[in-house]
Amino acid sequence: MKPSISRRAMVASAAALALGPGLLRTARADNGVTDTIIRIGQSAVFSGPAKDFGIDYRAGIKLYFDRVNKSGGVNGRKIELVTYDDAYDPAKTAVNTARLIDEDKVFALTGYVATGNLAAAMPLAEKAGVPMFAPLVGTTSFRTKVNRYLFHVRAGYDLELRKIISHLSTIGIQSIAVVYQDSAFGKSNLATCEELAADYKVKVLKTFPLAIAAEDAKQVATGLADAKPGAVVMIMAGRMVEVFMRDYRANAVGAPLYTLSVGITDAAGSAKRLEGKLAGLVTASIVPPPQALRVPIVADYQRDRAEFGEKIDSYTALEGYIVARVMVEGLRRAGKTLTRDGFIAGLESIGSTRFGDFPIEYSAKNHNGSTFVDLEMYTRDGQLRR
């Protein structure tokens, strides 16, 4: 006698429970995944004085996704990127993130920009169990403890600042001043800079906050002239860097300038607007130069730019391209039945490897990605030289 339908259902249910919750999750794909699509969400700055970061980052991410989609996708699924503008406002980031998770039902999040914005989004992502991949954020506080749902690609700002401070110490500069963005990003990394300066016995003479939307920095420039530091370290991002440099150069303060990787994104535009005064600015770089075709991943990036007609070409766009390539590897390793648990496990299984000669390391105990940092100097026309 055959068991009834209800009897068969009870047997199947008991068998599934015996397999455990981990295997139950792999029985079907998570939100944002269909037979043909993987939906990824992004909230970033696409308007206002810091818009270059979001625009360029998205361009690089989408460029590699386009390459993958043209080749058939990931295990037969095309990647769809859903983006919203948060205008650099953490409150808008939170609204956008809730929308991406609750309404768009995205599988994962990527390409977020700025410390405060990431801080606004992470509680929502964690509560929903949605992975947050490769925010354009290097703040140390997000990296000291492993968060199951947060993966970085870029090196942390602590590594950038260490590179700058150790370099200054090596060349005999014993005092600095710091100009920092008056935001969570600026304040947290100012503290890191002060700790590193103490480690290298470099004295911090003065620190100066500057508003994100500042239109002049004359008072700061005057304060720097009075302080007479051996060098000035800038912990700022976007057009406010140009505002500061314009007034600093006009005040004829002689100390050399150093900035984090997020200081300048539109180098050619900055050089033009500053009328040559960009020359001499030293920046930390967390990816190879976008023109360094000797590096395989850069050659791939430039090949795809040409094929897909992408006009944006910058360090941030290259970073986005690298980010997407690493993310796709995690998606591939997750297998045909794509789940968030599988994606996290796939990323953690990468270990220590190179993507087109760009180093990445992940494990269950390390979600920090790259440690690559170099120093380069801008020419008057916005080119970088080592």
> Which tens digit of pLDDT belongs to each residue from 52-70?
999 999 999 999 999 999 9
Which whole number is the average pLDDT over 36-41? 98
310 residue type, one letter: E
pLDDT (0 to 100) of residue 24: 38
pLDDT (0 to 100) of residue 238: 81
Q: Assign 322 to helix, strand or coil.
A: helix
Which whole number is the average pLDDT over 121-147? 96
Looking at every residue in the chain, the average pLDDT score rounds to 91
Counting Cα atoms < 13 Å in the Cβ hemisphere of 91 gives 0
pLDDT (0 to 100) of residue 383: 85
Instruction: Tell me the torsion sign for CA atoms 123, 128, 129, 130.
Output: negative
Q: For residue 30, which of 128, 107, 136, 84 has the smallest C-alpha distance?
A: 107
Classify residue 110 as left (phi > 0), alpha (psi -120 to 50) or beta: beta
pLDDT (0 to 100) of residue 28: 60
> Which tens digit of pLDDT belongs to each residue from 183-214?
989 999 999 999 999 999 999 999 999 998 89
Which whole number is the average pLDDT over 133-152? 95
